[in-house]
Amino acid sequence: MDIHEKSRIHWACRRGMLELDIAIMPFFKYEFDSLSDIDKQVFIALLKSDDPDLFNWMMNHGEPSDPELKRMVNLIQQRNRERGPVAM
């Protein structure tokens, strides 16, 4: 993955909704590079979701119908819990 592609993914992580930025940005910063290529593609697919859907999924007010997106949401939540709060 080249720097330009990673920069585009980083930009897509910025949602403009504080709750989503708190969930997604630290995951990208601390976990993205260690993901498998498949999981990186699932994460990128998740970023294509609408903000209201992402918000609901991250706040456990529903879940994606796609099992891979659901798995990624769970992974983001799990890793964020394990890491604890971080400064953005």
pTM: 0.88
**Position 85 pLDDT exceeds 80:** no
Residue of 74 and 11 predicted with greater confidence: 74
Residue 63's SS3 state is coil
Cα angle: 45, vertex 49, 51; to 5 degrees: 140
> What pLDDT, on the 0 to 100 scale, is given for residue 9?
92
Q: What is the mean pLDDT of residues 25-39?
A: 95
**DSSP state for residue 36 in the 8-state scheme:** -
Residue 72 pLDDT > 80, yes or no?
Answer: yes
Long-range contacts: 68-73, Cβ < 8 Å, 24+?
68/42, 69/42, 69/45, 71/42, 72/39, 72/42, 72/43, 72/46, 73/46
Domains observed in the chain: 3-83 (1.10.150.250)
Q: What is the pLDDT of residue 87?
A: 59
Apex 59 CA angle, 62 and 85, nearest 5: 150
